[in-house]
């Protein structure tokens, strides 16, 4: 019934394109901000290389995957091959180095799940987390950035979805809801599934980029310049896609049996992945396969309580997109 309604209301839905695009535009970081991030990275590189000349710094996460909104913190990965020293020692040494250079709020969190050093640069005002040898994160950042270059609608949809998730309080992994990384993968998978498809499956195409990290082979097609017209047969607009995205997660996704997989560009069965029962803390109540760490379910943070919260939020969003006269306001109302 809802599908029929949508067809009838297509003109209504299309009237929402301008407000959605205006929200998207307002979230894009200014060029000036990018320049400041570069400036901070250069400073950190200089300090780090004095101590470890062969070490390298890489940006990852939203500051480098093109899904970052303005005024975000930056995520940095220190790649260092020195096998003799352990991570905690490196982090503590880094903290010392940064402190002596007048960086502020320097803190080494050596016991965190992902151990990091945090700092704030008083010159640019940017805060930053530095982790060590998280090379898979650097590579999945590249995969996301490459997808974003294929069709502009991915970045638009992901900005709207992330903005919705933050406004509604469902972007908090420590409270059992999903990470930004998981939401972007949901958007990529959703656009791979449209007919005609809006995005291809880069990991199923000819390999033009490959790297092996911790025995995991990461290979995909990265010459995305040649894919710029890939989605052009599909004319769906951003408002239709936002509508369909929430409709999918509210009413159409098979939570009991399905795993979404960007790696294969398809839906896999929980059965095939042996994700049918709870093992330890992994409950697999909503299943999102990591594109490289395929045993890793990004939905594993979700528990019995938070799955309800999430699904109610998807239903609320779908309802608003269907019936609310002013969805661009209602959708993002603080919870
Ligand atoms: N990451 C990962 N596996 C996870 C979560 C995160 O590999 N389970 C890596 C990804 O490279 C991701 C980065 O950590 O891009 C940062 O994750 P997250 O904070 O969820 O995403 P951001 O894109 O930085 O989003 P935000 O704008 O909310 O900071
Ligand atoms: Mg981040």
Domain boundary among 114, 136, 158: 136
Of ligand 1's atoms, which has the minimum distance to the CA of residue 73?
29
Kind plus residue range of the DSSP H or E element containing 270 = helix 270-273
Judge whether residue 84 has pLDDT over 80.
Answer: no
Q: pLDDT tens across 203-219, in order?
A: 999 999 999 999 999 99
The closest residue, in CA terms, to atom 19 on ligand 1 is 180
More confident residue, 287 or 13: 287
Residue written as tokens 């297509």?
Answer: 10
What is the rounded average pLDDT of the residues 62-90? 91
Judge whether residue 23 has pLDDT over 80.
Answer: yes
The total domain count for the chain is 2
Instruction: Spell out which residues have Cβ within 5 A of ligand 2, the ion.
Output: 61-62, 75
The closest residue, in CA terms, to atom 4 on ligand 1 is 181
Judge whether residue 310 has pLDDT over 60.
Answer: yes
Of ligand 1's atoms, which has the minimum distance to the CA of residue 173?
20
- Give the β-pairing of 287-289 and 258-261: parallel
**Predicted pLDDT at 221:** 99
Judge whether residue 13 has pLDDT over 90.
Answer: no
75 and 21 fall within a common domain: no
d(CA 292, CA 279): 21
- Let me know if residue 141 belongs to a domain: no
320 and 194 fall within a common domain: yes
Q: Tell me what ipTM this predicted complex has.
A: 0.98
Of ligand 1's atoms, which has the minimum distance to the CA of residue 137?
11
Judge whether residue 200 has pLDDT over 90.
Answer: yes
Neighbour-count burial of 279, counting CB atoms closer than 10 A to its CB (0-12 exposed, 13-18 middle, 19+ buried) = exposed
What is the rounded average pLDDT of the residues 77-88? 86
Residue 159, ligand 1, Cβ within 6 A: no
- Let me know if residue 145 belongs to a domain: no
Residue 68, ligand 1, Cβ within 6 A: yes
* pLDDT band, very low/low/confident/very high, at 8 (cuts 50, 70, 90): very low
- Let me know if residue 62 belongs to a domain: yes
- Taking the centre of ligand 2 as the mean of its atom positions, its distance from the CA of residue 37, in whole angstroms, is 13
- Let me know if residue 144 belongs to a domain: no
The CA distances from residue 311 to 252, 255, 279, 286, 316, in Å, are 11, 10, 22, 10, 8
- Let me know if residue 178 belongs to a domain: yes
Judge whether residue 9 has pLDDT over 50.
Answer: yes
What is the rounded average pLDDT of the residues 169-188? 98
- Let me know if residue 142 belongs to a domain: no
Contacts of 173 (CB under 8 A, 6+ apart): 179, 301
* pLDDT band, very low/low/confident/very high, at 256 (cuts 50, 70, 90): very high
**Predicted pLDDT at 7:** 52
- Taking the centre of ligand 1 as the mean of its atom positions, its distance from the CA of residue 184, in whole angstroms, is 9
Task: Check which CATH number belongs to the domain holding 45 and give it.
Answer: 3.30.460.10
Structural domain span for residue 218:
2-27+150-330
Domain boundary among 78, 112, 136: 136
- Taking the centre of ligand 2 as the mean of its atom positions, its distance from the CA of residue 196, in whole angstroms, is 32
Residue 129, ligand 1, Cβ within 6 A: no
Distance from the Cα of residue 244 to its chain's centroid: 19
Tokens of 18: 């301008």
> Across all residues in the chain, what is the average pLDDT?
95
The CA distances from residue 297 to 61, 162, 279, 315, in Å, are 18, 19, 12, 23
**Predicted pLDDT at 330:** 97
157 and 174 fall within a common domain: yes
Residue 62, ligand 1, Cβ within 6 A: yes
162 and 286 fall within a common domain: yes
Task: Check which CATH number belongs to the domain holding 251 and give it.
Answer: 1.10.1410.10
d(CA 199, CA 188): 7
């Amino acid at each position: 019934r809802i599908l029929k309604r949508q067809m009838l209301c297509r003109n209504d839905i299309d009237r929402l394109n301008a407000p959605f695009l205006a929200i998207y535009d307002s979230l894009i970081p200014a060029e000036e901000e990018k320049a400041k991030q570069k400036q901070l990275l250069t400073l950190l590189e200089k300090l780090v290389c004095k101590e470890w000349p062969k070490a390298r710094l890489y940006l990852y996460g939203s500051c480098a995957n093109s899904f970052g909104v303005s005024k975000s913190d930056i995520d940095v990965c220190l790649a260092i091959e020195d096998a003799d020293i352990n991570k905690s020692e490196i982090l503590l040494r880094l903290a010392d180095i940064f402190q002596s250079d007048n960086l502020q709020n320097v803190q080494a969190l050596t016991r965190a799940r992902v151990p990091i050093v945090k700092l704030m640069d008083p010159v640019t005002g940017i805060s930053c987390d530095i982790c060590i040898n998280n090379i898979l994160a650097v590579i999945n950042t590249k995969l996301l950035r490459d997808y974003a270059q294929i069709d502009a609608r991915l970045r638009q949809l992901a900005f709207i979805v992330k903005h919705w998730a933050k406004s509604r309080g469902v972007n908090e992994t420590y409270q059992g809801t999903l990470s930004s990384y998981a939401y972007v993968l949901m958007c990529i998978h959703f656009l791979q599934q449209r007919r005609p498809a809006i995005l291809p499956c880069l990991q199923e195409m000819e390999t033009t980029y490959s790297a092996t990290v911790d025995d995991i082979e990461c290979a995909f097609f990265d010459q995305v310049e040649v894919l710029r017209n890939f989605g052009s047969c599909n004319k769906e607009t951003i408002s239709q896609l936002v509508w369909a995205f929430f409709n999918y997660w509210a009413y159409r996704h098979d939570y009991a049996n399905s795993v979404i997989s960007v790696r294969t560009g398809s839906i896999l069965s929980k059965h095939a992945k042996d994700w049918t029962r709870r093992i330890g803390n992994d409950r697999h109540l909503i299943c999102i396969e990591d594109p490289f760490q395929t045993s890793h379910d990004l939905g594993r943070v979700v528990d019995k309580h938070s799955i309800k919260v999430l699904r109610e939020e998807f239903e609320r969003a779908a309802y608003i997109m269907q019936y609310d006269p002013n969805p661009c306001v209602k959708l993002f109302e603080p919870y």
